[in-house]
Structure 1
Amino acid sequence: MGIERNWAGNLAYRAAAVAHPASVDELRDAIGAGGPVRMLGTRHCFNDIADTAGTHIALDRMPTVIEVGAQRDAVRVSGALRYGDIAPVIEEQGLALANLASLPHISVAGAVATGTHGSGDAIGSLASAVRALTLLTASGEIRMLRRGDAGFDGAVVGLGALGAVLDITLDVEPTYSVAQHVYEHPGWDALLADLDAVTGAGTSVSIFSTWQRTDAADQLWIKQRQPDDLRAERAALADALGAAPADGKRHPILGVDPEACTEQGGVPGEWFQRLPHFRLEFTPSAGAEIQSEYLVARADAVAAIEAIRSLAGRIAPLLLVNEIRTVRADDLWLSMAHGVDAVGLHFTWRPDEQAVRALLPDLEAALPASARPHWGKVFTLDGAEVRSRYPRWDDFAALAAQHDPERRFVNEYLERLGL
């Protein structure tokens, strides 16, 4: 019997069965048993990207690998591991990742395959840290692709279309600490007058809004690597924005208990205890929710936010929170930040999918043409339009056909995209 639902509960999976191989040989057998297959990670996608009418394959029983390289600049990890499982292990060895997403609960392979990103003007997506990955293809062949190899840039954000990801090698660096500061009610006009100054005010910056009001956002979160030499600039910025420091710990969603959130108030802590918004030991975010996200070219960011602002009256009743943050450009073919510094417009919706899907076409039409929807979240743009926003799409389609000529990993989601 298959796994019934995704993490948020908004999607019922159709798979007839789920396999939990404990070795490469068992995985090879599961893939080769016949019928379509899809890999299943931590189930944090909000659409049917991981769904199949055939067999789900979960790698949660495969041997665990967390292996730091001899040069201490990379770590090879099992694809099924969560970032929250890896981080404390490499921290004990004095090492760190440059970036983490809002949630440490997501698997490495799943996050990378969907272009999931984290944030920061100078920080690439999680996928940009990949220097090698090992795939088991539908034919049973093991293939390793390294940064610089032909096809590598297409295989990293692979949408699960090329095979099962056995392990991924990630760039690491010496460990560091981060402090997190929260400010309340920054004015929108001031935020948009110099958005670059706002997003450059820390290592990672997030603007949160419920759009219940259009004159001011709700919160501004600034995560800063230590030592912190931007105190004066941050105070001046907060003053210019009309924002006041929060007088206690906050959750991104107004009114929700912040216990699940990482420490705030400028208290320094280990990188993996501050870069995510949420702590591993708690259910992240709101639980019952739907998520959408669009990454726009940085040059289009102000116009995109103004478009959202113009729809605030329709957005606010369905919204739990909107988060705005930045991602550095990369060369990965299906990355939402491919070839362009990007600004992410993330929407955490109330769990009313019918109403959300009714709104999204108007929201998508209002956003600039550079907007690329997050692969693992809810969007309504058709496949042809999505493909048109990725200049290397045809190259990716050819790469997928090369790795999976029998289309064993293709599902309805990928068919809608034209694979």
Structure 2
Amino acid sequence: MGRNWAGNVHYRAARRHRPASVDELRRLVAGAERVRAVGTGHAFNRIGDTTGDLISVAGLPPAVALDRDRSTVTVTAGLRYGDVATRLHADGYALANLASLPHISVAGAVATATHGSGRANGNLATAVAALELVTADGDLLTVDRADPRFAGMVVNLGALGVVSRVTLDVLPTFDLRQYVRLGLPRAALDAALDGAYSASVFTDWRSDRLDQVWLKQRADQPPPPADWLDTVAADAPVHPVPGMPAQNCTVQLGEAGPWHERLPHFRLGFTPSSGDELQSEWHVGRADAGAALAALEPAAARIAAVLQICELRTIAADRLWLSPNYERDSVAFHFTWIGDPVAVAPVLAEVEERLAPFAPRPHWGKLFARDPAASYPRYDDFRALLREVDPAGTFRTDELDRYFPRD
């Protein structure tokens, strides 16, 4: 892999590896001065870049091992969520939530607290019951919820080792129906975000109303009424980005289907987009959703000029140190920008400035400019954990040194 999915980052690694076994992975890590793991390349900044050795764990033998007694599944770290979900559903199980893309790897998504939506749903890292990782000396370390360091090691930014296996909580499989509603009044944002098991609100910042609401609703629940929140029902499948074809999106119009074919926005068998885009995302407190939306309104025209689409989603609070949702129910403001870094940079900075009164926490794998230190209450604790687990800085990168300066 020479570059990330979006093409805005070209990896500088001197060597690239795809080990076929955990033993080979351990030897590679132990013999490297600088090393980083890379997943499916969906990070938009240089958090995964290194001048040393770049390792993909996608070549490790794929395994999806259910433990029905503990209601968990242990999977190879490099597997994609969509592949894990398909296996789980066939065995009668499910994950509580998925991100909009089923194409991302389990370890990569967990390491950056990637998320779906839903008032009661935590980000994907909150489903982690245990991690197995290879540390700088090549040893295997397993941590679970009984380990006092666990809450600091799950959302780890790849800075503590190369994760080889992940154990996730599972629940019985379930069906969902997906409905799309159009033309949401801005004043109804809070009600819309609470409107289903998982809800996403999309806007291109060109209208007084919010363009789309995607409701992913338990199949045994009644459909939204015809006048739901003064919106209208989409009468054909739609894509979140205006003008894009809907064929690669998950099934809509209220047709029931399994959880893993409705929770993502995009189908596993389709490429979601060309990758010609940049992304940023900031999480604010759930109670501040309306005020944060209003704070961005004066910049609407400037945002719209460099935007493909903006999505708002809810995430439940958790106790993971580097989670944007640490001890705070949240709303995420996600921006998919055009693929022009020069044009996007000043608008990104203005969005950050306008969200600053709401203590925004950035998504670690996307583009942001402000120092994140003040946004994360357990920031100093994670810096101490870095010193403990990786004192030589084997897994550090220039980007990590910027986020977490060495003493």
Q: 1:355 to 1:210 in 2, by over 3 A?
A: same
Q: Give the alignment partner of residue 201 of structure 2, picking from 200, 207, 213.
A: 207
Q: Give the alignment partner of residue 276 of structure 2, picking from 270, 281, 288.
A: 288
RMSD of the alignment, in Å? 1.2
Q: Give the alignment partner of residue 61 of structure 2, picking from 41, 60, 63.
A: 63
**Matches for 1:26-45 after TM superposition, within 5 Å:** 26-45=24-43
Counterpart check, 1:217 vs 2:210 = yes
Q: Give the alignment partner of residue 275 of structure 1, picking from 254, 257, 263.
A: 263
After TM superposition, give the deviation of residue 39 of structure 1 in Å: 0.4
- Taking only the aligned residue pairs, the percentage that are identical comes to 48
**Matches for 1:131-142 after TM superposition, within 5 Å:** 131-142=129-140
Counterpart residue number, 1:416: 402
**Matches for 1:155-174 after TM superposition, within 5 Å:** 155-174=153-172
After TM superposition, give the deviation of residue 349 of structure 1 in Å: 0.5
Aligned residues of 1:326 and 1:343 also touching (Cα < 8 A): yes
What is the letter of the counterpart of residue 375 of structure 1? W
Q: Distance in 2 between matches of 1:246 and 1:410?
A: 47
What is the letter of the counterpart of residue 235 of structure 1? P
Counterpart residue number, 1:306: 294
Counterpart residue number, 2:13: 15
Q: Give the alignment partner of residue 399 of structure 1, picking from 377, 380, 385.
A: 385
After TM superposition, give the deviation of residue 72 of structure 1 in Å: 5.5
After TM superposition, give the deviation of residue 286 of structure 1 in Å: 4.8
After TM superposition, give the deviation of residue 70 of structure 1 in Å: 3.8
Aligned residues of 2:19 and 2:59 also touching (Cα < 8 A): yes
What do the CA deviations read for 1:294-336 (whole angstroms, capped 9, x no partner)? 0101122111111222210100010000000100000000001
**Matches for 1:3-402 after TM superposition, within 5 Å:** 3-71=1-69, 73-188=71-186, 190-192=187-189, 195=190, 197-213=191-207, 215-229=208-222, 231=223, 234-235=224-225, 238=228, 240-241=229-230, 243-367=231-355, 368-382=357-371, 386-402=372-388
Q: Distance in 2 between matches of 1:286 and 1:264?
A: 22
What is the letter of the counterpart of residue 188 of structure 2? L
Q: 1:272 to 1:322 in 2, by over 3 A?
A: same
What do the CA deviations read for 1:142-193 (whole angstroms, capped 9, x no partner)? 11111131100000000001001011100000000000000111122x324x
What is the letter of the counterpart of residue 371 of structure 1? P
After TM superposition, give the deviation of residue 418 of structure 1 in Å: 2.0
Aligned residues of 2:317 and 2:328 also touching (Cα < 8 A): yes
After TM superposition, give the deviation of residue 236 of structure 1 in Å: 6.5
Aligned residues of 2:204 and 2:307 also touching (Cα < 8 A): yes
Could you say what secondary structure the match of 1:205 adopts?
strand
Aligned residues of 1:278 and 1:285 also touching (Cα < 8 A): no
TM-score, structure 1 normalization:
0.94
Q: Distance in 2 between matches of 1:187 and 1:198?
A: 10
What do the CA deviations read for 1:220-262 (whole angstroms, capped 9, x no partner)? 1111012114x3xx32662x33x11011000000110000100
Q: Distance in 1 between matches of 2:179 and 2:274?
A: 21
Q: 1:70 to 1:205 in 2, by over 3 A?
A: closer
After TM superposition, give the deviation of residue 287 of structure 1 in Å: 2.3
Q: Distance in 2 between matches of 1:27 and 1:157?
A: 21
Aligned residues of 1:202 and 1:222 also touching (Cα < 8 A): yes
Q: Distance in 2 between matches of 1:70 and 1:187?
A: 45
What is the letter of the counterpart of residue 95 of structure 2? L
Aligned residues of 1:115 and 1:374 also touching (Cα < 8 A): yes
Q: Distance in 2 between matches of 1:365 and 1:175?
A: 42
Runs of 4+ in 1 over 6 A off after TM superposition: none
Aligned residues of 1:198 and 1:237 also touching (Cα < 8 A): no
Could you say what secondary structure the match of 1:91 adopts?
helix
Aligned residues of 2:288 and 2:358 also touching (Cα < 8 A): no
Q: 1:54 to 1:219 in 2, by over 3 A?
A: same
Q: 1:163 to 1:307 in 2, by over 3 A?
A: same
After TM superposition, give the deviation of residue 403 of structure 1 in Å: 1.3
What is the letter of the counterpart of residue 406 of structure 1? A
Q: Distance in 1 between matches of 2:15 and 2:140?
A: 24
What is the letter of the counterpart of residue 89 of structure 2? E
- Unmatched 5+ stretches in structure 2: none
Q: Distance in 2 between matches of 1:378 and 1:370?
A: 17
What is the letter of the counterpart of residue 402 of structure 1? E
Q: Distance in 1 between matches of 2:59 and 2:285?
A: 40
Q: Distance in 1 between matches of 2:39 and 2:360?
A: 26
